[in-house]
Amino acid sequence: MSDCIFCRIIRGEIPCSKVYEDDEILAFRDIHPQAAVHALIIPKKHVATLADASPEDAEVLGRMLVLAPRIAKELGAGEGFRSIINTGKHGGQEVYHLHMHILGGQQMPAMIKY
């Protein structure tokens, strides 16, 4: 999608503070961090939301999950981190290009425990 901000970042039209890149995935620091460590991991293929992912996206989604702890560690997340995928309007998604937030580097605020 030509007007998607993350697609524009992938194409190099908008700069980012890159922390990882390969043929299918890009990870970069969030420009409005909500924690000491706050990075985004995105697939280079445009998929609007997690609900729009298809079986053919399973491999790249799995690679994103495996990459998350590595990025958290490299950025100094310490003893833990949160990985969050907001999905759709009611899920708090603001940019409609699938992305995973990695947050850590400090004690996180109290969370709902299941």
Domains of the chain: 5-104 (3.30.428.10)
pLDDT, tens digit (0-9, with 9 covering 90-100), for 6-22? 999 999 999 999 999 99
**Residue 99 annotated to the active site:** yes
pLDDT at 111: 56
Dihedrals φ, ψ of 53, to 5°? Answer: -65, 145
User: How far is residue 103's CA from residue 105's CA, in Å, rounded to a whole number?
Assistant: 7
pLDDT at 109: 62
Beta bridge partners of 102: 39, 83
* pLDDT confidence band for 114 (50 / 70 / 90): very low
Catalytic residue among 38, 46, 90, 99: 99
pLDDT at 78: 87
Residue 28's closest CA among 43, 17, 42? 17
pLDDT, tens digit (0-9, with 9 covering 90-100), for 72-113? 999 999 889 999 999 999 999 999 999 999 999 876 565 555
